[in-house]
Chains A and B, each alone.
Chain A
C-alpha cells in the first residue's frame, strides 16, 4: 500500500488516509470561472481501490468493494456514469493510477482555463 497518515474521520475514528481529493462541482464550467454556487468538496481516500460514480458496485477485476467508504458518490449527476472511474495503487510502479469507465470520459491535467481562483 502507499504511504498514508493517521487522522480522524468525521465519525471520530482514527483512519489511515492515502489521498485527499479536493475540488469544486458545478455544471457551469463552460463560463470559465466557478459560479458562486459552486462549493469546495473534499474526500479523503481511506481505502484502495477507490471508485467515483453514481452508485456503489463491486468490481472483482480491481478488487473494488461495494462498501460506500470505498466510493465517492454523485447520485444526482447524470454526466457521471454509475461506475465512472477507479483510483488504485500500482504496486509495481509505486504510483496511483486512475482508470476511466465512464461514457463521458475523464480529463487528467486537462487543458483549459482553471475553474479555481488564482
Chain B
C-alpha cells in the first residue's frame, strides 16, 4: 500500500527546499509547502501534500478507476459512480455534483460512450444515484459553505442555482435510504 520509492519530483523538491532555511526555536511557527523539508532531531522528512494520482499517494487498488468496465455489464454506471466518488471527492467530504461526476466519468472511463452527450450522461448518473442506497440528493443549504467555495473555485461561472448536490451516505444514511426505496417500490407496485 505504501509506496517506498522516492521520486525524482520529490528529490528535486527537496533540493529546492534546501536553498533557504529557517530554524524554528521553541514557540516559533512558519508555513509549509509541498517543497518543505523538516529536520527535527534525528528525523529528516519531506512534507508531501496529496495530489490526485500522485504516485506518492497510492490510492487503494479497489478504488482505482475501473477503466475496462463496460457500461453494458451489470453495475456499469454504478461502478463508474463508485470509482469517481471514492477516488476524487475526499476534498469535498463526499459531497459532489452531477457536473463533477460527469466530468470525472468522462476522464476516467475513456471509450465507454460517456463523451457523447454530457446532458444525457448527467441524467443517467442522476437516475442511478436516485436508485442507489449509497448516495442521496441533498439541498444546497445543507452543504457546508467551504465545500461550496471549493466547488466554485473549480467551476467558475457554473450556474449555481441549477447545481444539484449529492452526498455519499454513511451507514445510518444507507439504511434510511434503503427503507425509503423499499417504501417507494411498494407504492409503485401498489
A residues in contact (CB < 8 Å) with B: 1-8, 10, 14, 16-27, 29, 40-42, 52, 74, 77, 79-80, 84-85, 87, 90, 93, 95-112, 114-118
Q: Which residues in A have their C-beta under 8 angstroms from that of B15?
A: 114, 118
Residue of B nearest to A16 (CB): B90
Which residue on chain B has the smallest CB distance to residue A52? Answer: B40
The residue of chain B having its C-beta at the shortest distance from the C-beta of A95 within the complex is B31
Contact A25 B42 (CB under 8 A): yes
By a CB distance below 8 angstroms, the chain B residues around A103 are 26
Contact with A along B11-48 (1 / 0, CB 8 A): 10011011111111111111111011111111111111
Given that A108-B24, A109-B36 are contacting pairs, would A20 and B48 also be in contact in the complex, using a CB cutoff of 8 Å? yes
Q: Determine if B190 is an interface residue (Cβ-Cβ < 8 Å).
A: no
Number of interchain pairs (Cβ within 8 Å): 198
Residues of B within 8 A of A3 (CB): 50, 90-91, 150
Complex formed: what's the CA distance from A51 to B165 in Å?
Answer: 35
Which chain B residue has the least Cβ–Cβ distance from A10?
B1
Task: List, sorted by A's number, 11 A–B pairs whose CB atoms are closer than 8 Å.
Answer: A3-B90, A14-B60, A21-B38, A40-B4, A42-B4, A87-B32, A90-B31, A98-B30, A104-B41, A109-B17, A110-B23
CB of A114, distance to nearest CB on chain B (Å): 6
Report how far A72 CA is from B117 CA in the complex, Å.
49
Name the segment of B51-59, B65-73, B100-108, B118-126 touching the other chain.
B51-59
